[in-house]
Structure 1
Amino acid sequence: MRKKLIVANWKLNGNWAFNEVMMSELSLGLKEVQWHDLEIILCPPAVYLQQLNGLMTDVPILLGGQDVSEQFFGAYTGETSGQMLKEFGCRYTLVGHSERRVRHQEQNELVALKAKTALACGLIPIICVGETLEERDSGKMNAVIQQQIQSVIDCLKDDISEVVFAYEPIWAIGTGITATVDQAQEAHAFIRGVLQQYSELCGQKVSILYGGSVKADNAQVLLGTPDIDGLLVGGSSLMSSEFLAICLSSLNSK
């Protein structure tokens, strides 16, 4: 059975006081819940990992990085290594988020190297893939996504079954526009098909998340589709009541 994941990406948000309040509210809202096969992962800015790690003693939440360097150590100013993330309690890390691909010109090969380094450090990379509106409208969506996945397969080989993928249509991130359920399922089925072409086991084992203006009112229907195994939540993860509702709705899905 594939893991069900709810991932909160705080992006460039949070502060010391906000973090304390948020964790207190999440702790209260989650303490009576039996999660079974669900994992909740919080990806804050790296500077707050130590604080949040100390606040999670009674909260069923795991930590993740928002990014990771492809380097293990050395003269790489501004980078955060996988060992550093691991030392601060991370179990996961995002890799290749569309904002990294666009703002920092991260190419497919670099994203694949970051995923490989994350695995070597004992982290599970959540590898983001997705298309722009222009690419979708011009019929290039599948080709773009396949290239993104193929770069990871070429780099990781059989280790590809140890990662998580997240489909995030770039045109739906932070815009308030969500892909329809049919659009999301179609993209997820395509991604799973690409993985199955490499290995039937990989296609069956790898969890694929949906990210793109996820809210409490669309979470359950998205999770009810055959190939969506979890959610990558942006803005809604900064509101405790909204994020709790998303987490709780996942318990009632497939």
Structure 2
Amino acid sequence: MAQVSRIPLIAGNWKMNLDHLQAIATVQKLDWTLKDARHDYGAAGSEVAVFPPFTDLRSVQNLIAADKLDIVFGGQDLSEHEAGAYTGEISGAFLKGLDCTYVLIGHSERRTLHGETDQQLARKFSSAVKHGLVPVLCVGETADDLEVHGPSAVPVAQLRATLAGVTGTPNFVIAYEPVWAIGSGQAATPDQAEQVAATLRATVAELLGEETADATRILYGGSVKSSNIAGFMRQPNVDGALVGGASLDVTEFASIARFQKHVGT
């Protein structure tokens, strides 16, 4: 693989937390805290994204646009369908109309709680790309998967299934989230994350070419905290983090982003 410079991404998935008023307060405080960090350490070119609930998106959009905040945002899911009789679903067109940059695809909670299949996620991925959204494809294994299949096998299989029908050079992000680590307080080790990330990148190269693989950012997600982000960010194939619970604590989330911004300085 060529040595390229990928802009690091720190993404906060709020899940089903924070109403629209709380979202406004959280984004405002996050922006203030990140500005303090840039003043103290200087901007290192990293990107910070939040994934609010659907009901918060318009409020977050208005705030970011009005105050020209250096934060981007995305949806937590999207429908594989364009429009029609699909009660409760949100199309890619709707998300793009709210200026979303990103959308999560295949988060482990969607796979387990809603039974989303690799084939369905492939269609969601295509819908996101069609509407100009950047899909953040989540892949990962359970503790049983890890014991039976070993590291990388399940995440790679999930990635292959999603990219099977993809052509060209789509802009997307991969988030490796070991299910056994999410919410457990026990993160994967940096070496474990790097091993899987390197294998995922090699798989993208095989399917879509080395140029796309070199440009694709791979995040680690699973009990990420300010106390362990440094180890992950030192790995050559880990380009950021998908943060869950810690993203609801503005001080903690900003500390994750702040460390990220001055790694190596």
Which of 177, 202, 212 matches 1:202?
Answer: 212
Q: Show the counterpart of 1:224.
A: 234
Which of 108, 116, 119 matches 1:109?
Answer: 119
Counterpart CA distance in 2 for 1:243 and 1:146 is 29
Q: Show the counterpart of 2:139.
A: 129
Counterpart CA distance in 2 for 1:140 and 1:101 is 20
Counterpart CA distance in 1 for 2:9 and 2:32 is 20
Deviation track 1:11-42 (CA, whole Å, cap 9, x = no partner) reads: 00002332232122112112352545311111
Give the CA deviation at 1:63: 1.1
1:4 aligns with 2:8: yes
Counterpart CA distance in 1 for 2:224 and 2:218 is 15
Counterpart CA distance in 1 for 2:47 and 2:96 is 17
Counterpart CA distance in 2 for 1:132 and 1:52 is 33
Contact in 2 for aligned 1:64/1:93 (Cα 8 Å): yes
State the secondary structure of the residue aligned to 1:179.
Answer: coil
TM-score (norm 1): 0.95
TM-score (norm 2): 0.91
1:253 aligns with 2:263: yes
Moved more, 64-73 or 198-207: 198-207
Which of 77, 85, 91 matches 2:87?
Answer: 77
Counterpart CA distance in 2 for 1:76 and 1:3 is 36
The share of aligned pairs that are identical, in percent, is 38
Amino acid at match of 1:211: G
Q: How many pairs does the alignment contain?
A: 253
Moved more, 197-206 or 137-146: 137-146
Counterpart CA distance in 2 for 1:87 and 1:187 is 35
Deviation track 1:122-179 (CA, whole Å, cap 9, x = no partner) reads: 10000000111001011344332222111122121224x4111000000001111100
Q: Show the counterpart of 1:52.
A: 60
Contact in 2 for aligned 1:64/1:91 (Cα 8 Å): yes
Q: Specify which structure has the bigger relative contact order, considering alpha-carbon pairs within 8 angstroms and separated by 6 or more residues.
A: 2
Residues 1-254 of structure 1 mapped to structure 2, 5 A cutoff: 1-32=5-36, 33=38, 35-56=43-64, 57-159=67-169, 161-198=170-207, 199-253=209-263
Gaps of 5+ in 2: none
Gaps of 5+ in 1: none
Amino acid at match of 2:166: L
Counterpart CA distance in 1 for 2:121 and 2:10 is 22
Amino acid at match of 1:203: A
Following TM superposition, the consecutive aligned residue runs of length 4 or more in structure 1 with deviations greater than 4 angstroms are none
Aligned alpha-carbon RMSD (Å): 1.4
State the secondary structure of the residue aligned to 1:94.
Answer: strand
Counterpart CA distance in 2 for 1:16 and 1:75 is 26
Amino acid at match of 2:12: A
Give the CA deviation at 1:48: 0.6
